[in-house]
Amino acid sequence: MSQYAPPPQDHRPADDSKVASIAWAVAAIVVALVVAFIAWLAMSDRGDSPSAAPAETGTVAPEQGAGAEGSGEGAGSGEGAGAGEDAGEGQGAAPDGVAQTPSPEVQEMLLELQRRDADDPMAVGDVDAPVVMIEYADYRCPYCARFHLDIRPELQGLVDDGTLRIEFRDLVLFDEPSQMAAVAARAAAEQGAEYGLEFQKEVFALSREGHAEIERQDMIDIAEQIGVPDLELFEEDLDGPRLSGVVTNDTQEALSLGVNSTPTFLINRVVVQGAYEAPAMIRVIEEQKALAEEGATS
C-alpha cells in the first residue's frame, strides 16, 4: 500500500505576493509621511510677524500655481511662509523661531531627501558633511537672489570646514524665463561646477530688485562672460530636453512635498522658509550639527 505524498508546492507566487505586499506597505508609509509633511507645512504657514525677521520670503499659494507672476513679490513681507511667531508652535521650533521642526517620522523623511551625490554639479560641500541644506529656489525670485548674493557667502566657512553641504534644487514658480534660467545654470555647471556657481551669481544679480525679464541671449551672454569653455555645447544643452527634464523633476519634487515658496531650506531635520540673515541660519546649522554628532555617538 503506497503512502500518500502531497504534490510539491511552488512557493514562488506566495513569495512574490509577500514582496508586493511589503512594497505596497512601504509606499503607503512614504505617502503617509509626505501627506503629514504637507499638512504640517500648511499648519505652520500661519504666522503674522517674524520673531527673527527674514531678509524676505516669496510665496506662491497652491491655488495660484507655478508661474503666478507677481505673487512672489506680493508675499515678501514674511507673513506666512513659516516665518511667524507661531510657525513652530507645538512642533519644537528651533532657535529664534527661524526653523520649524516636524514630527520625528517626517524628520526622517527629510533626511532621506538628501542625495549626497558626489557628481552633483549644483551641490557644494563634502558628501559626508554632518549637515545638508537642501535649497529650493527660483532664479527670478528676488529673495532667493538676496540669499545667494548676500547671505550664502557668509555660510561658506561652514562649507569649507566640512560642516555643511548645500544641495541646490530648482523650484520654478515664475514662468518660462525661470525654467530657462534654471536650465542655463545647469548647462554651465555641466562644463564645471565652478561655472555653475558663477552663472548662478550672475543670473541672481539680475533679479535682486524684482523678477528680471530674461531672454535666451542673456543666458548666452552670461555664459560667454564667465568663460564657459564650449558655448556651442552650452546652447545645445540649453535647448535640449535632458536638463529641462532635470529642472522639471526638481520642481515636481518640491511641489509634491507641499513646498510652494522660495526660498525654502530643508536643513537636516528642520525647515526654514525665507531668506533669514546669516547669523540666524548659522545658528540653525550649528544646532543640527550638534544633534547629528550626538546621534552618531549615541
Chain segment 212-232, per-residue pLDDT in tens = 999 999 999 999 999 999 999
Mean pLDDT, residues 274-287? 97
Give the pLDDT score at 28. Answer: 59
d(CA 65, CA 71): 10
Q: What is the mean pLDDT of the chain?
A: 80
Whose grid coordinates read 505586499? 21
The model's pTM: 0.77
Residue 75 has pLDDT above 50, yes or no: no
AA identity, residue 259 = V
Whole-number Å distance between alpha carbons of 268 and 246: 23
Pairing of strands 261-262, 58-59: antiparallel
Residue 15: the pLDDT is 55
- pLDDT mean over 140-150: 97
Instruction: Give the confidence band of 95 by pLDDT, cuts at 50, 70, 90.
Output: low
Residue among 23, 37, 102, 65 nearest 252 (CA): 65
The amino acid sitting at 27 is: A
- With a cut of 60, say whether residue 67 has pLDDT above it: no
CA gap 3, 185 in Å, rounded:
76
Mean pLDDT of 197-212: 95
Are 187 and 243 in contact by the 8 Å Cβ rule? The answer is: yes
DSSP 8-state symbol, 154: G
CATH architecture assignment, domain 14-297: 3-Layer(aba) Sandwich (3.40)
What's the rounded mean pLDDT across residues 197-210? 96
pLDDT at 101: 94
**Closest among 185, 172, 142, 171 to 56, alpha carbons compared:** 142
Angle of helix 12-44 relative to helix 104-112, nearest 10 degrees, comes to 110
Across the range 20-33, mean pLDDT stands at 58
Confidence of residue 40 (pLDDT cuts 50, 70, 90): confident
3-class SS of residue 169: strand
Average pLDDT over residues 140-163: 97
CA 214 – CA 175 distance, rounded (Å) = 11
Element (H, E) at 218: helix 216-226
